[in-house]
Structure 1
Amino acid sequence: MREFTTPLSVAVPTTGNLTDDVVANAREAASTAVFSRPSDDGWVDVTAAEFHDEVRSVAKGLVAAGVGAGDRVALLSKTRYEWTLLDYAIWFAGAVTVPIYETSSAEQIGWILQDSGARAVVAEGPDHLARVREARQSADLVELQHVWSLQDNAVDVLGRLGSDISDELLEQRRTTATPHDLATLIYTSGTTGKPKGCMLTHGNFMFELGVAVDELPELFEGDEASTLLFLPLAHVFARIIQVGCVKSRARMGHSADIKNLVADLQGFRPTFILAVPRVFEKVFNTASQRATADGRGKIFDRAADTAIAYSRALDGKRVPLRLRARHALFDRLVYGKLRQALGGSCAYAVSGGAPLGDRLGHFYRGIGLSVLEGYGLTETTAALTVNLPDAQKVGTVGRPLPGTSVRVGDDGELLFKGGQVFAGYWGDEAATAEAVDRDGWFHTGDVGEVDDEGFVRITGRKKEILVTAGGKNVAPAVLEDRLRAHALVDQCLVVGDGQPFIGALVTIDRETFPGWAEQHGKSGDLAGMLHDPDLVAAVQDAVDDANKAVSQAESIRKFTILPGEWTEEGGQLTPSLKLKRNVVVREARAEIEALYLG
């Protein structure tokens, strides 16, 4: 049983709560721009003093509305400035934030509001309000007393409502919570049943950010440090970056519409970003397809190969002169344009949620964007491990953060212990006891390895390991990650549990397909081309490349191209773009059975 511990390197506060950062910022750096908000005239800065005043105003409104210390207040909105404002206002009022993905169905919203016993909910607009109303009709929401809407000026309404609340009363409420008290209830994606509420305390966040900000000064420190959040703040990954920026005073912006993301990035010019691997895959594939469409496909391919080779050479500490010259050429022709698409100032990116893969990791580092891959779960307040700028192994998720221990169980499962591990599942002691053993080790459900230097590599999900009829254990994530790296492949599902061989279901990327079809002289829609020899051959190339990562017994022998898409709206993907395997397997039962006929 391998075990590795990174010693604690900073003093973690034993008193106070997350609101202390906002108070300290206003007192010590009142005129510092800690946020920027989009407007018709560009990005408008919000100072630490202005944010502090806004948070206090909204918090007083919550107190006046009867929200008590420890009460749950739900947020149902896209990523925007008001989300962060309300999050801290809820904490100032001594209450607990319950994030809900803005794409959630009425049934999902009803379950979270009911299970959490939410006293109030702030929704974004009419569509969200309609789903809350529908949830109220079908769920037992006896605790829910208030529903406010951002588009109906919830911030101003709450500000006026709290005008009679004294500063003394608010300060009493603000300082109620200790590190041991609940800060937020974040519900799991529900890929294996009803979502469970993860109880994260102020202390969980204070531990996590106390060590993470200290370990990553390249991201959070410096006068120009900034990030543009575009992932859902309902996800713990974006949330922890939000709290880290407030703590470190790194300027933060919000971008809610993916259609405007490129323009927002170029206007905001962040120094670092965070994204899930699928975003990095899409950026690479889109750039490749555009280059091919413009007749520069071979140049892009050579540039990509050069970036990867350059990054790999950096691990050896010596880059051959000829490779350096080729890299400098492609930096002018290709890499600079890719960096400019991110705003031109972005040097680092943080990736989490799923494995990024060696090839993409080396590609981005080779073009001048170091992707720091990390690993964590909702139950661990985001990161347990992370690659650092000066301690990085591409293909791993880094070493445990200071004060964190990792252990590999006898069955290969990764177990962790540290101050960021949650307080348990809300109202579910049985599930909590199953997740955290008597010795305090959190069982992640992920299978992995730890090398001699403490770098962790994720190899699959314990519950997703396929066992073929021949008794071969296969981790589908290895194959699926490689398959999705192909420009034509949108999503894929590797199957074969109890079967004689491994198979795959593949969906085609709707953005890259038209360009591919035009280049190959094809006409008609995708549904009519599922058996087109050239399309099948292209997917076969992707399968052949994926199979290089595994043994012959683990390789994909047959695949089927499906006409539809797997989307969050369709219920097949989580908001963080993870595949809901049980949903897809149920919906595609006939296609899976057909793979093994005969």
Structure 2
Amino acid sequence: MNVKETEPEVSTMTALFTTLPGLFQHITRTYQNPVMLACKKDDAWVKFSTAEVVNIVCKIGAGLLELGLRPGDRIGIAANSSPYWMMMDFAALGCGAITVPLFSNIAPENLRYEIQDSGMRFLFVDSEKQYDTVKASGGIVERFIALPGDMNLSDCISWDSLMSLGEKRMASQPGEWERLSNDVRSTSTATIIYTSGSTGTPKGVELTHDNLVTQVQGTALRFPLDPKNDCVLSCLPLAHGFERMAAFYYLSTGSSLYFAEEVKKVGEALREVHPTVITLVPRLLEKTYDRMRSGADSAKGFKKILAQAAFKRAWEKIPGVPATLKDKLFDALVYRKLREALGGRLRFIISGSAPLDHSLYGFLLNAGFPVYEGYGLTETSPVIAANYPGHLKVGTVGKFFPDVEVRIGEDGEILARGPGIMKGYYGKPGETAKTIDENGWLHTGDLGKLDAEGFLHITGRKKELFKTANGKYVAPVPIEQALCNKLADMAMVIAEKRPFVTAVLFPDMEGLKRLKPELGCAEMDDASFLHSEQARAYMQKAVDDMNTKLNHWEKVQKFHLADRILSVDAAELTPTLKIRRHVVEEKFRAEIDAMYAA
């Protein structure tokens, strides 16, 4: 089945720019924002106006040219998200260079691999740890550039030195960076973004300026912003393709973009900035809910009874059904306070990168949180489909994005085609040919279906359909989501070529604080509790309840409750917090084998 938007949608931005340097020029011509970019430092917000950003970007660009950067060179950014990250990106892109974003929490071996694979000549760093890791690998990086901070590295060009070099170049070659920016073509490669590598070695996704610009233009149609009223809080890494494209869009509208100091302080930032827009991954929404629930459970007397009744109603009500008098009362007394704790002004909470639990999605909508779930891949720049105002259905990832074609293959695989499809995997033509067929269709590896209203449903992962020893297929992701609760923060299903389904569960250390008193184990330390009969019985009941909703071959017969969490540093999680199955299975080989022992 081949399906496309029946009525072509044209963004108002279509004629304004065709490249990312063109997008930057559009911003500087159109807006004079007193707060274009901002970040938190020493408990105060440091703000950059449009004029200040233009001045710094031009100096960075000229400084890079003075250091020998050439069009087509790869330049890495291994730094936490900040205004400096965005300014470095715009400056390098204006030189005609190709930026390679690197997650700040990336495993050392992956950092070294991505630097080598991309042929990176220049690298921005914001920590001595990253610098030491790269230097120890004997890599090919010719120039290290330090962001503003306390780093003291002898062979690393300081931020002030880069600015001085830029001023020197601008004096000797006036207008050079601007001319190079104008020479950038829409078909030129803008960036190489490495996939998370949850199942193996990361691959470099090569995206052009046109890939990203068409996504920016599509986003303008789905989520229009008004710079007079809207401002944005960013809390995801800019190395994440979803957040970076979104950041380009936010800035193209003239809206102020604030960067949260760290994920743990997002709540504080929300209450200070009062944003109208935020992009999140489901894990952050789950943690946000856990904090809300914890607050409700810790209330006293009538407040606790009221909060628990309101939470129960939000879980049970079908989203979209007209509010009753009881719902309006709960909104005035409970839900409004929950929204105020997140700043009180949010118009768009855009969720992507992983599936959002349907029940949690319904709760958030019923509590008045404007959540819109979307779907896409790094390889599609990234959005394929999204729910948006006036077009929202829980349990789906929405309708097709503008200019995106979708076809459901005979085997149920979602195929996508359009201007957002990647140029290819960098240096891997064979892998590219396996993913993009001769007709331009990108094979996503995800399984899905379309309903009569044009909403896309994700039904599973083609490569994550486990086949048991009995020939039955098991989709692990829905089971893993259902296994998560106050005790288990993450779950990994085992089923491939096995006689029955098992799971390894990883603890929720925050959830334990609430759960231990409930089970009469408040005095136990965490390690003792995780090995206790009470914890085992609690989890067994959760597994039994879940199994009632599964086919007999999908039921989890045994589980192992681990006594530690997984980490990115140990290469057990990707930087976007997805489990690296092959790594974790190997590390827990003994525990897994024990579950299948006679």
Which range, TM-score by smaller chain? over 0.9
What is the aligned partner in structure 2 of residue 145 from structure 1? 142
**Equivalences for residues 360-509 of structure 1 within 5 A:** 360-484=360-484, 486-509=485-508
In 2, distance between residues paired with 1:15 and 1:221?
A: 19
Q: Is the 8 A contact 1:387 1:393 kept in 2?
A: yes
TM-score normalised to structure 1 length: 0.93
| Residue 276 (1) aligns with residue 260 (2) | no
Q: Is the 8 A contact 2:39 2:260 kept in 1?
A: no
TM-score normalised to structure 2 length: 0.93
Give the counterpart of 1:81 among 62, 80, 83.
Answer: 83
Partner letter of residue 159 of structure 1?
M
In 1, distance between residues paired with 2:274 and 2:512?
A: 31
In 1, distance between residues paired with 2:239 and 2:193?
A: 7
Query: Any unmatched runs of 5+ in structure 2?
Result: 152-156
Q: Is the 8 A contact 1:106 1:134 kept in 2?
A: no
| Residue 267 (1) aligns with residue 264 (2) | no
Q: Is the 8 A contact 2:70 2:97 kept in 1?
A: yes
| Residue 156 (1) aligns with residue 160 (2) | yes
Give the counterpart of 1:249 among 244, 247, 254.
Answer: 254
C-alpha displacement of 1:276? 0.9
C-alpha displacement of 1:147? 0.3
In 2, distance between residues paired with 1:440 and 1:259?
A: 42
Matched residue SS, 1:512: helix
Q: Is the 8 A contact 2:232 2:277 kept in 1?
A: yes
Give the counterpart of 1:195 among 198, 202, 205.
Answer: 202
What is the aligned partner in structure 1 of residue 154 from structure 2? none
In 2, distance between residues paired with 1:474 and 1:6?
A: 36
What is the aligned partner in structure 2 of residue 177 from structure 1? 184
Partner letter of residue 502 of structure 1?
V
Q: Is the 8 A contact 1:225 1:271 kept in 2?
A: yes
Matched residue SS, 1:286: helix
C-alpha displacement of 1:257? 1.8
In 1, distance between residues paired with 2:545 and 2:280?
A: 25
In 2, distance between residues paired with 1:491 and 1:246?
A: 35
Q: Is the 8 A contact 1:459 1:478 kept in 2?
A: no
Q: Is the 8 A contact 1:277 1:351 kept in 2?
A: yes
What is the aligned partner in structure 1 of residue 350 from structure 2? 350
**Equivalences for residues 498-577 of structure 1 within 5 A:** 498-522=497-521, 523-547=523-547, 549-577=549-577
Q: Is the 8 A contact 1:478 1:549 kept in 2?
A: no
Q: CA deviation digits over 1:471-522, x for unaligned, max 9?
A: 22111111112222x2222110111222232221111101121232133321
Give the counterpart of 1:51 among 45, 50, 53.
Answer: 53
Q: CA deviation digits over 1:576-595, x for unaligned, max 9?
A: 11111111111112222222
What is the aligned partner in structure 1 of residue 229 from structure 2? 224
Q: CA deviation digits over 1:71-106, x for unaligned, max 9?
A: 111000111111111011111222111011111233
Q: Is the 8 A contact 1:43 1:268 kept in 2?
A: no
Q: CA deviation digits over 1:435-458, x for unaligned, max 9?
A: 100010001111122112221111
Bigger shift: 527-536 or 487-496? 527-536
Q: CA deviation digits over 1:538-557, x for unaligned, max 9?
A: 22343245435533332222
Bigger shift: 151-160 or 578-587? 151-160
Q: CA deviation digits over 1:13-33, x for unaligned, max 9?
A: 597411222222222222453
Q: Is the 8 A contact 2:358 2:395 kept in 1?
A: yes
**Equivalences for residues 30-179 of structure 1 within 5 A:** 30-31=32-33, 33-40=35-42, 42-136=44-138, 139=139, 141=140, 144-150=141-147, 151=149, 152=151, 154-165=158-169, 166-179=173-186
Counting aligned pairs with the same residue, the percent is: 33
Q: Is the 8 A contact 1:289 1:487 kept in 2?
A: no
Give the counterpart of 1:235 among 230, 236, 240.
Answer: 240
In 2, distance between residues paired with 1:333 and 1:548?
A: 36
Distance 1:41 1:561, change over 3 A: closer
In 1, distance between residues paired with 2:537 and 2:305?
A: 19
Matched residue SS, 2:175: helix
Q: Is the 8 A contact 2:296 2:308 kept in 1?
A: no
Distance 1:39 1:581, change over 3 A: closer
Q: Is the 8 A contact 1:356 1:481 kept in 2?
A: no
Bigger shift: 466-475 or 296-305? 296-305
Moved over 6 A (4+): none
Partner letter of residue 496 of structure 2?
D
In 2, distance between residues paired with 1:533 and 1:111?
A: 44
C-alpha displacement of 1:294? 3.7
C-alpha displacement of 1:297? 6.0
Q: CA deviation digits over 1:274-326, x for unaligned, max 9?
A: 1111111111123223332445665444222322444x251x5x34xxxx222
Bigger shift: 159-168 or 231-240? 159-168
Give the counterpart of 2:292 among 287, 290, 294.
Answer: 287
Partner letter of residue 396 of structure 1?
T
